Homo-oligomer: A and B are copies of this chain.
């Protein structure tokens, strides 16, 4: 059960967080993490129908931006949202984005 390097929350920049969330796949990943709790890299790749290296790339982006936390357990890497820390750093931000994303999805994709 190892931990991986993560940026300290005070070093997390708002523009980096917003950039990470501006990709539809990464936004969907964050919504799923918020809804279903933690998941693994492989499961995400399957669920979203993308190559595993692409999933790895997005998860790295999310980790480096400060949004997700990665915990290694055996061969698996579990990703989770750094929800409390983010709420502390940017109060209300994650909630607003999550509810906007959920509403956006429910309303149907505006092609």
Q: A residues touching B (Cβ–Cβ < 8 Å)?
A: 10-11, 13-16, 18-19, 21-24, 27, 90-93, 95-97, 99-101, 103-104, 110
Q: Is the interface of A mostly helix, strand, loop or mixed?
A: helix
> A93: which of B15, B16, B27, B96 is its contact (CB, 8 Å)?
B96
> A22-B19, A22-B22, A27-B14 are known contacts. Are A96 and B101 too (CB-CB below 8 A)?
no
In the assembled complex, how far is the CB of residue A8 from the closest CB belonging to chain B, in whole angstroms? 10
Copies of this chain present in the complex amount to 2
Instruction: Say yes or no: B93 contacts A97, CB within 8 Å.
Output: yes
In the assembled complex, how far is the CB of residue A66 from the closest CB belonging to chain B, in whole angstroms? 11
> A21: which of B18, B90, B100 is its contact (CB, 8 Å)?
B18
Instruction: Say yes or no: B99 contacts A92, CB within 8 Å.
Output: yes
